[in-house]
Structures are given as C-alpha cells and as structure tokens.
Amino acid sequence: MDLLGEEAREAVRRALREDLSQGDVTSSGFIPEGSVCRAEISAKEEGVVCGLPVAQAVFGEVSCGDLRLELSCEEGDAIEAGTTVLSLSGPAAEVLAGERTALNFLQHLSGVASLTRAFVEAIDGTGVRLLDTRKTLPGLRSLEKYAVRCGGGSNHRFSLGDHVLLKDNHLALLKTAFPGSWAKEVGLRAERVRRLRPLARIEVEAQSLGEVAELRTLPLDLLLLDNMSLEELRRAVALIGGRMRLEASGGVTLERIRAIAETGVDFISVGALTHSAKAMDFSLRITA
C-alpha cells in the first residue's frame, strides 16, 4: 500500500466507514465469541488480478493483529477461474468484517486491469502506448490508474496540474476571444507556459485536419486527434511529419484499436479502461 499513497489508504478507510459505521450486527449477534476460521478468496472467472495490497490493507484495518494472510499469486498475474489469490486464517468476525470491502476493491481493480490487458494485447508489436484518462470514479483515481499500470497500460494526467491539455472547451473560449488568430494565440501562450514551467508537456486537441494544419508549426509536445476516421488519422500523421507526437482518442474499441495504432500515431487514450470496466468476479469462502 505504500506504493499506492495516502489517497489509497484513505479510500480503504472511507470504504470501511461506509460498511462498519454501526458495527456488524449479524456477526456480533450470531457468530460465537472467539470463533476462528480459515478462508480463501478465489476468482470466479479468468482475468488479471489487481488489488491484492488493497485487500490486505482492508483486513489489516479490521484486524487486532491475529488475522494471518497469505498471497497465492502476484499483482498483474493472468489467472484462471477457480484460482485462489488470498488465504486468511484467524478471528471469524474480522474475516467477515472485511469481506465485502476487500472484494469490492479486488473486483473493480481487477476488472480495470483485465480490460487494460486486452487493449494492450490488441496493439502488441505496433510500438503504440495505451493511455488512460481522468474519467475515473471520484476518490479512486490513484487506485484505478494503478490498475491500468498492472494491466500494462500507461497513465496520462493524474490531475489538471500535471501538464497542459487544451481541449474543445478551452479552444472554444480562445476562438471566441481571438476569432481570426486563435492558433497564433495558442502558440504565444504555449511559449509563455513553457518559460514558467519548462518541464510541463503542452498538448492541444485537434478535431479536424484543418486544425491540425493550423497547429502543426506551434511549439507543442503533443497533438490530440479526437474522433477522427482512420483515413483522417493517416493524413494527420503525414501532415505533422514527426514534428510532435500524436495521440488518438474517441470511439476506441477493442475491435478498432489495432487499425488506429497502425495509422502511425504514438499514443491511444481510452476512457473506457476506467469508466466502463466490468468487475471481475471473486468470492470469499470459509473453508474450515
């Protein structure tokens, strides 16, 4: 969990407060005091496991120190249905107190990692890097972006302060203020930002080949090609001619991503990695 940061630790504590703010009336009322057990968390389908340190942190928070945990695989492993990923032994009440919260994190993060792995494998050999976006669940960004890395993807911006990305709404405001010279204004402001923050990357979105032509000579690091057809992407690559790196986004599916990668872009960003990943099914069963 130290690798995941304070945001992740607070997410665990917040999730446990949701579930245990009034205690566990079922276990306290029906489980004999002092009961101990062994339990296993197992996958019910194949996929990429992610979130084991988070699950460990959950049980660490609910345990008084007598709960023992043993991992059966490593983060990022591709596993089959029926694979046991974590074994527990100790006070039954502690196992049951952490069960749902641990599974919720494990299922969601493994779902993100599994979907990411599928996209990464689809573009294997092209040299194109898969990026995530800021389309994350509030409060879970660091964990979801960690899951993307476990799946083999790369992280784009963590926050608005990471690097410059002028998107459609920013450009709409600039075009209103500078209707005949918006691109020139972008270049002037890019130079100003670069003087103030020399390490900041500067990226601008282009929604048409006309905008690509207007932006191609500006002091930018990246150009975001949004919702373009394959032919438009190929023409944009030719227009840029290596002056800056290119990122494709919008309408990216598993069926289409290989063809997008083969147009010559450098990056492909996919919001679905975090906002539409299906949870990978896990269960916890008491075995003794």
Per-residue pLDDT tens over the stretch 131-151: 999 999 999 999 999 999 999
Q: What pLDDT, on the 0 to 100 scale, is given for residue 221? A: 96
Give 115-124 pLDDT, tens digit per residue: 999 999 999 9
pLDDT at 3 over 80: no
DSSP letter string, 22-39 = T--HHHHHHSPTT-EEEE
Residue 190: partners with Cβ closer than 8 Å, 6 or more residues away: 164, 202, 204, 218, 219, 220
Mean pLDDT for 169-178 is 96
pLDDT band at 288 (very low <50, low <70, confident <90, very high): confident
pLDDT at 68 over 70: yes
Q: What pLDDT, on the 0 to 100 scale, is given for residue 73? A: 95
What is the pLDDT of the chain when averaged over all its residues? 96
Residue 167 falls in the annotated catalytic set? yes
Phi/psi for 87 (5° steps) reads -115, 145
Residue 235 falls in the annotated catalytic set? no
The catalytic residue among 75, 144, 205, 247 is 205
Give 83-123 pLDDT, tens digit per residue: 999 999 999 999 999 999 999 999 999 999 999 999 999 99
Residue 266 falls in the annotated catalytic set? no
- Between 126 and 199, name the one with better pLDDT: 126
Q: Are 235 and 98 in contact (CB under 8 A)?
A: no
Q: What pLDDT, on the 0 to 100 scale, is given for residue 5? A: 78
pLDDT band at 8 (very low <50, low <70, confident <90, very high): confident
> Domains in the chain and their CATH numbers?
6-120+277-286 (3.90.1170.20), 121-275 (3.20.20.70)
- Looking only at the bridges linking them, the beta strands covering 68-71 and 202-206 are unpaired
Give the integer Cα–Cα distance in Å for 46 and 25. Answer: 34
The catalytic residue among 132, 144, 226, 247 is 226
The catalytic residue among 100, 134, 189, 235 is 100
The catalytic residue among 135, 149, 175, 245 is 135
- DSSP bridge partners of 286: 39
Q: What pLDDT, on the 0 to 100 scale, is given for residue 4? A: 67
Residue 66 falls in the annotated catalytic set? no
Give 195-226 pLDDT, tens digit per residue: 999 999 999 999 999 999 999 999 999 999 99
The catalytic residue among 13, 68, 167, 256 is 167
Q: What pLDDT, on the 0 to 100 scale, is given for residue 2? A: 56
Residue 226 falls in the annotated catalytic set? yes
